[in-house]
Amino acid sequence: MDSQGTQGTQGGITVQRALELPGLRGGLPEVVAGADRLQRTVRWVHAGEVPNIASLLKGGELLLTTGLGLGARPAEQRVFVRKLAERGIAALVVELGPRFTRLPAAIVETARAAGLPLVQLHREVPFVTVTEEVHTEIVNGHYALLQRAEEVHRRCTEALLGGGGVPQVLNVLADFSGNPVFLETPDGQLLYAAGAGTECADPLQVWEGLRGHHKDGPPAGALLVDVPGGGPGSSFVRARLVLLAVESTLLPVHRIAAERAAGSLAVVLMQARQEEELAARGRGDFLTDLAEGRIQADDAPAQARVLGFKPGESPLLPVVMRLADGLPPGGGWAVLARAVAEELAAVGVPVLLGVRPVEGRVPLLLGLRTESERTAVADRVAAALRAGVERAGMQRAGALPPVVVVGVAGGWAAASAGLRHAAETATAAQGLIDRPWYDARRLDIDLLLWRLHNYDDSALAAFVDRAIGPLRTHDQRSKPPLLPTLQTYLAHAGRKAETARELHLNRQTLYNRLARISELLGTDLDDPQTVLALSLALRARRHVA
């Protein structure tokens, strides 16, 4: 890395760059020790001639001296140089002249042994000029550093104003640093991850391989920045940014950029209100990506382990709960995620729970011991989900109850298709007779009708009107209504005795109603094709006005 590059990333200048400036270059500098350490960063410049000057320094200084404080005896000179090295100064520059015509061997040897850059000037230079030049370079370097970090802050702000959230902010920071970036809870649980590009390592694999093996502290070279959770001056930490030095070294400019990004994230997290919602959203994103095929079945187990889901070789059961439309996109979802998680803890199987506020869904994956326990587990999970909704206050008065759809148990490939099927079916099942949970396999007709409704609502409405329109008109004008009779009759597969028993009618009254239905519709209720059409129309009528 050249000196200009170091200046731009470190926020200071190197010893090498300082020697190239006109002030020191005019002194004909000669490096007599530490030539391999000239890339050290110069934090500040100090000139002094007192023996105890090391005690006045903080480290990182370029020390200018004529040697008056170095001492006359070799032992004093060794101690002087050794203390400067221990203090961590960037370099020692000695101007030759009345005090030294050449540097004593004790000074040179001690500097070499300590790895301290030692420079002698063969011509007199005004130290004030050197100080001004170096300080100007340092200030300019810091300004350039702040400009680069401010650019990251600007990009983060643009991402948020454009509707982005935590993933977009992390992507900006990952691109800038060239390394994977993570957002974790204060206790080390992963919330979000972002990689530095398609050609770089998978950030989740990096997390599991590096951060996951350093429970007692961050890996070497990592950068940690707290994301505040309160107002100005608050010590509450809501989350933590972690940058891992995987692709390249992390520099001070990356810390400044991370601190800027942490400010943007603090706003996002305060809007989200709870870490539980962030974690649940992250799991919801994973489950949605799995359902939509953006995560391959072979890669899914490793990513699920990072999110805390470790079902082993157990069959996976996909479940989706759909809440009523009109719920707010934030706020109560944090409470819901926590309440449902607490209720599910009693189910006794591994659970991966996510939330998708935009779609109003709660997707889950559960690990079963055997596929035979699907029904029993589904009963407990549905009860836990509904209890969580009630505890979170997410069931509005008069609103449709939540719909819980259970898919088919299987491996990761089946889970992908099962989550997608259950999510669509949960939407299609809204408005059906309320049940604790629905088997996705038994609602395929309702799903097809819902898709047709979304594809061509007018065609579906015309079909319903052709099939049962006369009955709908009759029921609006006359009593008793005939649609409930037809629906019950078809539900019992044309068995008249069971139909009469459920409707509390005698046989003759039922026969009369069925005859009236056949007359109004102009159809034969014993014809299989007619029965199929009427059944579909009755199921489709809730989709049309």
Q: Whole-angstrom Cα distance, residue 240 to residue 186? A: 6
Q: Where do we find the tokens 């070497």?
A: 220
Backbone angles phi, psi at 432, to 5 degrees: -75, 170
Q: Where do we find the tokens 């095929």?
A: 293
**CATH, residue 398:** 3.30.70
Q: Residue 190's closest CA among 206, 179, 176?
A: 206
How many structural domains does the chain have?
A: 4
- Asked if 310 and 382 sit in the same domain, the reply is yes
DSSP states along 1-63: --HHHHHHHHSSEEHHHHHHSHHHHTT-EEEEE-GGGTT-EE-EEEE---TTGGGG--SSEEE
Do 281 and 193 meet the contact criterion of CB atoms below 8 Å apart? no
Could you give the C-alpha distances from 166 to 193, 332, 360, 406, in angstroms and in order?
9, 19, 20, 31
- Asked if 124 and 168 sit in the same domain, the reply is no
Q: Residue 13's closest CA among 83, 114, 91, 113?
A: 91
Of 238, 272, 306, the residue that ends a domain is: 272
Instruction: Assess if residue 414 is contained within a domain.
Output: yes
Q: What is the H or E stretch that residue 64 is in?
A: strand 61-65
Could you give the C-alpha distances from 476 to 33, 160, 469, 479, 543, in angstroms and in order?
102, 52, 11, 8, 19
Instruction: Assess if residue 125 is contained within a domain.
Output: yes
Instruction: Assess if residue 198 is contained within a domain.
Output: yes
- pLDDT at position 8, please? 40
Do 196 and 247 meet the contact criterion of CB atoms below 8 Å apart? yes
Instruction: Assess if residue 283 is contained within a domain.
Output: no
DSSP 227: E
List of E strands, 166-244: 181-184, 190-194, 223-228, 237-243
Helix (H, G, I), strand (E, B) or coil at 208: helix
Q: Whole-angstrom Cα distance, residue 262 to residue 258? A: 6
Go through the chain and tell me how many residues it has: 545
* 528 cis-preceded (ω within 30 degrees of 0): no
Backbone angles phi, psi at 21, to 5 degrees: -70, 155
- Asked if 168 and 129 sit in the same domain, the reply is no
Return all residues near 432 (Cβ < 8 A) that are at least 6 apart.
Answer: 403, 438, 443, 446, 542
**CATH, residue 254:** 3.30.450.40
Q: Whole-angstrom Cα distance, residue 330 to residue 336? A: 10
HEC-encoded secondary structure of 114-149: HCCCEEEECCCCCHHHHHHHHHHHHHHHHHHHHHHH
Do 241 and 224 meet the contact criterion of CB atoms below 8 Å apart? yes
Instruction: Assess if residue 157 is contained within a domain.
Output: no
- pLDDT at position 271, please? 65
- Asked if 239 and 304 sit in the same domain, the reply is no
Of 241, 272, 303, the residue that ends a domain is: 272
Q: Which domain holds residue 349?
A: 295-442
Q: Whole-angstrom Cα distance, residue 463 to residue 460? A: 5
Instruction: Assess if residue 306 is contained within a domain.
Output: yes
Q: Whole-angstrom Cα distance, residue 533 to residue 521? A: 12
Q: Whole-angstrom Cα distance, residue 131 to residue 120? A: 17
- Asked if 114 and 204 sit in the same domain, the reply is no
Instruction: Assess if residue 79 is contained within a domain.
Output: yes
3-class SS shares of the chain: helix, strand, coil, % to 5: 55, 15, 35
Q: Whole-angstrom Cα distance, residue 52 to residue 65? A: 13
Write out the chain's pLDDT in tens, 545 residues.
Answer: 333 333 444 456 889 989 999 989 999 999 999 999 998 988 889 998 888 898 888 888 899 999 888 888 999 999 999 999 999 999 999 999 888 889 999 999 999 999 999 999 999 999 998 989 888 888 777 777 778 778 888 888 888 888 778 888 888 888 888 888 888 887 777 788 888 765 666 777 777 766 554 555 666 678 888 888 755 455 567 788 888 888 888 888 888 888 888 888 887 777 655 566 777 888 989 999 999 999 999 999 998 988 889 998 889 999 999 998 765 544 567 778 888 888 888 888 899 999 888 888 999 999 998 989 999 999 999 999 988 888 877 776 667 889 999 999 999 999 999 999 999 999 888 888 889 999 998 888 888 888 888 888 788 888 888 889 899 999 898 889 999 999 999 989 889 999 999 999 999 999 999 999 999 988 889 888 888 889 888 888 888 86
Could you give the C-alpha distances from 89 to 54, 67, 110, in angstroms and in order?
9, 16, 14
Tell me which amino acid residue 337 is. Answer: A
Do 111 and 34 meet the contact criterion of CB atoms below 8 Å apart? yes
pTM: 0.51
- Asked if 267 and 310 sit in the same domain, the reply is no
Parallel, antiparallel, or unpaired: how do β-strands 181-184 and 190-194 relate?
Answer: antiparallel
- pLDDT at position 64, please? 93
**CATH, residue 85:** 3.40.1390.20
